[in-house]
Structure 1
């Protein structure tokens, strides 16, 4: 039976890429029975008598999956955060990083709209770039208006399935248009009334960018840590996890435990205070989470 990859899901149809051909398919009823939904990014077995009348028969094992946005088998996440409009937020960035790290997806931090940064904010943003680079994250500063940083971003997208993620209004679609103007993805400015971006992407679709596939998504509609346990949270903060290996007690949560290497590193300036602050906020959020039955 032929196999392919789902590159778009829309109105009950799954568009399966097999070589250079795209076949429009429906899902078999067995998926509904087993409460399994085919996702964009899935490798599937299908049958089709013609390009517009196929059926997805099987879904191969996934290496990872995201729920909101619904996509599977992602290699990396390009986390797009605008320098301004909306303002750059380390708290929100760290929340995205935790969600991505938990799924063992490689993150790339992309700061957009650098052409709009006022002089008084330049030094602050440059410091954040140094901080996250020191942790080990790739950090790119870009502008879809001036094309600064666009050429540096392109190599990251080759031969991989990438998801562009970030709050609405940060310029994800504008960046993709700057990378490939032929895409002509719809964009919208920030809503002056709400102070945030208006959603322009309505469904998940994988788009060819060079030798890679990029998902332009409606964005993360849930940023809660529903599946992350307190003991795992430090794994999602590489700087804290590495330092935590030197804690006196195994299983240290870097909270109230004595002789905690992480707290000592924060006091010594080796871990940025805002990173530890966010870690503690997230830890408290996880501890207060209602159990699911």
Structure 2
């Protein structure tokens, strides 16, 4: 039975790519009974008498998946965040980074709309760039003169990867992808000034071959609820904490109220950014207060 990859899902059809051809298929009837939903990015076994009437018979094992956007087997997440309109937010950026870390997805940060800021704001963003790069993330903060080179460098990450663009609405994901590949003609929308956020412009997830890899343009969203992250795992999703946590007095320290915590010591010294620790505490409290989701146990 041939094995292909779902590269688009639309109106109940799954478009499976196999040996240079795309086959329109539907999911097997018993997927719902088995609580399975094929996702874009899934590798599947399928049968097809012709290109228009195939059936996805089996889903192969996934290495990861995202709920929003619904996509599987992601290698790289490009977190697109704007300098202004909407304003740069470390809290929102860290939500995306924690989500990607939890799924084992490499993260790259791209900051847009630097042409709309003054020199003081740019210097402030430069400090954020330097900190996030110091803990292992690649951060693009291009000026107008640097944008062409930055985009070329960004595209260099795509080869042999399935890449997802993510970030809040209005941050400029579709605009950035239009610049990377103008023939995509992805829709963009102006910021809604009354709401302070952008309109959702991308209607479905589709994998697009770009620079020897696959790239998905996905709907932007302004918040992540961390619903899939367990409290015990949160501290492992901050690389700056992981680097030093073996120096905490207590094994299994959660860097919250324990004495002898190396993370809190370095926060006080300024070695670990105070905003990172504040975001960690906020996420910790949010997850701790989360109501149990009994539907997962059914």
TM-score range, shorter chain: over 0.9
3-state SS of 1:285 partner: helix
Mean CA deviation greater in 222-231 or 4-13? 222-231
**What residue is the counterpart of 2:176 in the other structure?**
175
Give the Å deviation of 1:221. Answer: 7.2
1:154 aligns with 2:149: no
- Give TM-score, length-normalised by structure 1: 0.96
Q: How far, CA to CA, are the matches of 2:259 and 2:237 in structure 1?
A: 22
Q: Take 1:73 and 1:63, find their aligned partners in 2: how far apart are those partners?
A: 5
Contact 1:69 1:220 in 2 (8 A): no
| 8 A contact 1:44–1:56 mirrored in 2 | yes
Task: Give 1:165 deviation, angstroms.
Answer: 0.3
Q: Is the contact made by 1:205 and 1:215 (CA closer than 8 Å) also made in structure 2?
A: yes
Shift in Å, 1:19: 2.1
Match in the other structure for 2:73:
73
Contact 2:245/2:263, CA 8 A, preserved across alignment: yes
1:32-60 deviation digits (Å, cap 9, x = unpaired): 11110000000001111111111100100
The Cα of 1:148 is off from its aligned counterpart by: 5.3
TM-score (norm 2): 0.95
User: In structure 2, what is the equivalent of residue 189 of structure 1?
Assistant: 190
Contact 1:147 1:178 in 2 (8 A): no
Residue 99 (structure 2) aligns with: 99
- 8 Å CA contact retained: 1:254, 1:262: yes
Partner of 2:251: 250
What are structure 2's unaligned runs of at least 5 residues? none
The match for 1:288 is 289
On the 8 A contact 1:63/1:72 being kept in 2, the answer is: yes
Aligned pair count reads 293
CA shift, 1:111, in A, is 0.7
2:36 and 2:176 mapped to 1: Cα distance?
Answer: 33
Q: Which residue of 2 aligns with 1:110?
A: 110
User: Residue 6 of structure 2 aligns with which residue?
Assistant: 6
Alpha-carbon distance, 1:222 to partner: 5.9
Task: Kindly indicate whether residue 155 of structure 2 is the aligned counterpart of residue 163 of structure 1.
Answer: no
Change in CA separation of 1:142 and 1:49 when aligned onto 2, cut-off 3 Å? farther
Equivalent residue for 2:216?
Answer: 215
1:126 equivalent in structure 2: 126
Q: Alpha-carbon deviation of 1:144? A: 8.9
Instruction: Report SS of the residue matched to 1:62.
Output: coil
1:279 aligns with 2:288: no
Q: CA deviation at 1:215?
A: 0.8
Query: Secondary structure of the residue that 1:163 maps to in structure 2?
Result: strand
Q: CA deviation at 1:152?
A: 1.3
Verify the 8 A CA contact 1:243 1:265 in the aligned structure 2.
no
Match runs of 1:23-42 below 5 Å: 23-42=23-42
Q: Secondary structure at the match of 2:178?
A: helix
Q: Which runs of 5+ in 1 are unaligned?
A: none
Q: Distance in 1 between matches of 2:255 and 2:184?
A: 46
User: For 2:123 and 2:222, how far apart are their aligned partners in 1?
Assistant: 32
1:263 aligns with 2:277: no
